Chains A and B, each alone.
Chain A
Amino acid sequence: MADARAGDMEAFAALVRRYQDRIFTVGLRLTRNRASAEDAAQQTFLQAWERRQSYDRRWRVSTWLYRIVTNLCVDEHRRRARAAALSAQGDHRPPAHPHAMVEARERRDRLNGALGGLPPAQRTVLVLRYLDDLSYDEIGRVCGLPVNTVKSHLQRGKATLRRQLVAYKEDR
């Protein structure tokens, strides 16, 4: 990151290669749409490059990138919520995947669907926790939340997911 900060394009390219999958995944889990996730990831790296001077060395690079991508997705969510409220018919849930045949994939889709029902803050906290094992402290930094709020979001989010997944099992 030090080289990227100095404006070394190759160092930055290496950074993009290293983090692109994780950043894209966060985008995907938060927006639940591949095109939006790709947009968000691209914007994240562009902002990271442009704001490289303000990168705070006490943060891990991943933490900093997560912060940018989650902010972008939350903004995007707000914009869409507003647009949906205006048109009163905007359904921003993507359609269920037609080829969800494999069990693992089905479980992931189900989870994605369940995630969609959570408030954005809980969703973000869960994604960060389970995607990259971030500590409560780091999640707090990314989301700008106190550690205790992170814990309660995590508990509540998990409880909701558990309920929905149990309900699904009973349906079968």
Chain B
Amino acid sequence: MRRPAVNPQTQEEEEALRAAFAPVLAPPSLFPAVMESVGRAQRAHDALRALIPRLYVEASRNGVTRVRLVRSGEAPPPATGPAARWLVRARRELQEYLEGRRAFFAVPWDPAVLGEFQQAVLGITARIPFGEVRSYGWIAKAVGDPGAARAVGTALATNPVPLIIPCHRVVKSDGTLGGYSFPGVKKEWLLDLERSVTRIVGCTSTHIYCRRGCPHDFRVRDANRVSFASVAEAKTAGYRACLVCEPS
């Protein structure tokens, strides 16, 4: 872009501004701190990816009933019978989630065997948005029993379908993370993973935005994919919502 001609006084002012805004040197502690935090993040992501072959999913005809980890090498259950399609879908979605390519679970879960209170707690928990957290007390209030924060903790600790029902998004109200009972997995790994994944993606040729992990998202070519920080940002850019994953 050609700069328009400027009078000497403006020119002087521009020079002064440029001089005043000149870059300063970053403190020497910045570089090692960056590389340390990046290394830590990378180790956590690697650890999460390493879980993929160890995931063991069970399902009924209504949806997923159990997600747990087995020792590597143990064979996953054969996918047959009426539950087969949920098993296949759950495994695929869990893999995409742990690889940072999915921001929501579409596979249903089956609460049939659970008690009423636990069903309510898990139902509320399942609606905590990707990348966000809520407190145990908030869940207790949401199920209509504000004094039951501890009982909420117990209900979540025995969550039969971790990851799919995001009990890792429930933390203590003092800002610490609280316990997490999925063996070998740290709550902060999952929260960091979710912070790092874009939730809303758009396609530059269709001008439609989706949640990350929507079937339409996977069809978008890399060169056409753009990320948005929020639905509002996608809307201001002139994109419309996908009708399949209904991002909100």
Q: Which residues of A contact B (CB under 8 A)?
A: 9, 12-13, 16-17, 20-25, 28-29, 34, 38, 41-42, 45-47, 49-51, 53-54, 56-57, 71, 104, 107-108, 111, 126-127, 130-133, 135-137, 144, 158, 161-162
Contact (Cβ within 8 A) A16 B35: yes
7 cross-chain pairs, A with B, having the tightest CB-CB distances, nearest first: A50-B196, A130-B21, A24-B26, A54-B227, A20-B26, A25-B23, A45-B34
Q: Which residues of A contact B196 (CB under 8 A)?
A: 47, 50-51
Closest Cβ of chain A to B234, distance in Å, is 11
Closest Cβ of chain B to A63, distance in Å, is 14
List, sorted by A's number, 26 A–B pairs whose CB atoms are closer than 8 Å: A9-B35, A13-B31, A16-B34, A20-B31, A22-B23, A24-B23, A25-B24, A25-B26, A38-B26, A41-B30, A46-B37, A46-B41, A50-B195, A50-B196, A51-B196, A57-B223, A107-B16, A111-B21, A126-B21, A127-B21, A130-B17, A130-B20, A131-B22, A144-B233, A158-B13, A161-B17
Q: Which residues of B contact A (CB under 8 A)?
A: 1, 13, 16-27, 29-31, 33-35, 37-39, 41-42, 100, 192, 195-198, 201, 223, 225-227, 229, 233, 236
**Given A16-B35, A46-B34, CB of A38 within 8 Å of CB of B20:** no
Q: Which residues of A contact B236 (CB under 8 A)?
A: 144
**Given A38-B30, A51-B196, CB of A111 within 8 Å of CB of B25:** no
Closest Cβ of chain B to A46, distance in Å, is 5
Q: Which residues of B contact A162 (CB under 8 A)?
A: 13
Contact (Cβ within 8 A) B100 A21: no
- In Å, the complex CA distance between A48 and B188 comes to 19
Known: A24-B30, A50-B196. 7 other contacts (CB 8 A): A20-B31, A25-B21, A49-B42, A54-B198, A56-B226, A104-B19, A137-B1
Q: Which residues of B contact A53 (CB under 8 A)?
A: 100
Give the residue of A16, A57, A127 whose beta carbon is less than 8 angstroms from that of B31: A16
Closest Cβ of chain B to A141, distance in Å, is 11
Residue of B with least CB distance to A28: B24
**Given A21-B25, A135-B1, CB of A108 within 8 Å of CB of B227:** no
**Given A13-B35, A42-B37, A46-B38, CB of A34 within 8 Å of CB of B27:** yes
- In Å, the complex CA distance between A107 and B16 comes to 10
Closest Cβ of chain B to A133, distance in Å, is 8
Contact (Cβ within 8 A) B20 A41: no
Residue of B with least CB distance to A43: B37
Give the residue of A38, A45, A56, A107 whose beta carbon is less than 8 angstroms from that of B27: A38
Contact (Cβ within 8 A) A49 B24: no
Residue of A with least CB distance to B22: A131
Q: Which residues of A contact B22 (CB under 8 A)?
A: 25, 131
Closest Cβ of chain B to A95, distance in Å, is 19
Contact (Cβ within 8 A) B23 A131: yes
- In Å, the complex CA distance between A13 and B22 comes to 23
Residue of B with least CB distance to A19: B26
Residue of A with least CB distance to B27: A38
Contact (Cβ within 8 A) B38 A49: yes
**Given A49-B41, A135-B1, CB of A21 within 8 Å of CB of B34:** no
- In Å, the complex CA distance between A135 and B27 comes to 28
